[in-house]
């Protein structure tokens, strides 16, 4: 059990979330609209997550994620864990809870006492589910929740409506001061930059000029 208790709550979706943002979830989750690409039994997004596993990001990850819940959207195949989880382990980030959400995840969970691979003894879960639908089930301004969004672009999930909706929902969930780690997910992150009045997500100091396509970008939620 996380110290945040029922956060994030993936069992009870906000009843008005879809209506609030004005999109049709049934259309967004049709088989023709949501498709995940896999290569050598690993999620396509895994290649992007590895860019965070560099010494220059170690201090940043440790400071911004320590004690937090990290929701890895589209983390990929979980047969041997995920790339983002390996980054967390290699960088020795003291997370409270790591959660992978992917349509192709097998679904499993380890409590802190059972996780022998991670020195920091974080709780680890892998959930099979749709990305947008899962984010919709997390309470707004959830305390201590951060996201990773690596390699989730229009080639993976076509349709501008999906990425606009995902940008809205992530912005709704992340509370001021918490972060989102992205790489190669500009179809979603461009929404934050195109309408700074609507969204509270801002590039963190040091990432102002980083290419969202070619470089990792850290986003931080500002209070409005």
CATH number, domain containing residue 65: 3.40.50.150
Mean pLDDT score, 80-89:
82
Reply yes or no on whether the pLDDT at 213 is more than 90: no
| 19 within some domain | no
Does residue 5 lie within any of the structural domains? no
Higher pLDDT, 115 or 86: 86
* Residue 97, domain member (yes or no): yes
- As given in the structure block, the two tokens for residue 111 are 């409590």
Kindly state the DSSP code that residue 95 receives in the 8-state scheme.
-
Across 2-86, where does the E strand assignment appear? Answer: 38-39, 42-43, 69-73
Tell me, yes or no, whether 31 lies in a domain. no
Question: What percent of the chain clears pLDDT 90, i.e. is strictly above it?
Answer: 38
Q: Is the peptide bond before 8 cis (omega within 30 degrees of 0)?
A: yes
Residue 3 falls inside a structural domain = no
Higher confidence at residue 33 or residue 90?
A: 90
Cβ–Cβ < 8 Å for 92, 56: no
Closest CA to 145 of 120, 169, 162, 111: 169
Q: Lowest-confidence range among 52-66, 78-92, 101-115, 156-170?
A: 101-115
The label of the residue with tokens 């070619």 reads 214
Could you tell me if residue 211 is inside a domain?
Answer: yes
Domain for residue 14, yes or no?
no
Q: Considering the entire predicted model, what is its pTM?
A: 0.79
The domain of 94 spans 36-221
Task: Report the distance separating Cα 47 and Cα 209, nearest Å.
Answer: 22
SS3 133: helix
Does 62 reside within a domain?
yes
User: Residue 194: how many CB atoms within 10 A of its CB?
Assistant: 11
- In the chain, the number of structural domains is 1
Q: Which of 138, 144, 194 lies closest to 170, judged by CA?
A: 138
């Amino acid at each position: 059990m996380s110290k945040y208790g029922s956060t994030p709550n993936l069992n009870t979706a906000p009843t008005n979330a879809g209506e609030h943002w004005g999109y049709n979830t049934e259309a967004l989750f049709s088989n023709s609209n949501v498709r995940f690409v896999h290569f050598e039994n690993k999620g396509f997004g895994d290649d992007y997550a590895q860019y965070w596993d560099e010494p220059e990001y170690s201090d940043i990850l440790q400071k911004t994620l320590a004690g937090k819940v990290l929701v890895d959207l589209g983390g990929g195949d979980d047969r041997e864990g995920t790339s983002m989880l390996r980054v967390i382990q290699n960088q020795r980030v003291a997370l409270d809870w790591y959660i992978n959400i992917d349509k192709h995840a097998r679904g499993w969970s380890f409590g802190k006492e059972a996780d022998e691979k991670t020195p920091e003894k974080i709780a680890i879960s892998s959930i099979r589910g749709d990305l947008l639908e899962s984010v919709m089930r997390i309470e707004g301004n959830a305390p201590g929740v951060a996201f990773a969004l690596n390699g989730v672009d229009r080639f993976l999930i076509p349709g501008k409506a999906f990425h606009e909706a995902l940008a809205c929902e992530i912005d709704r969930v992340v509370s001021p001061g918490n972060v989102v780690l992205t790489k190669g997910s500009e179809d979603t992150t461009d929404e934050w930059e195109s309408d700074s009045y609507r969204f509270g997500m801002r590039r963190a100091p040091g990432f102002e000029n980083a290419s969202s396509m070619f470089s990792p970008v850290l986003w931080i939620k500002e209070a409005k």
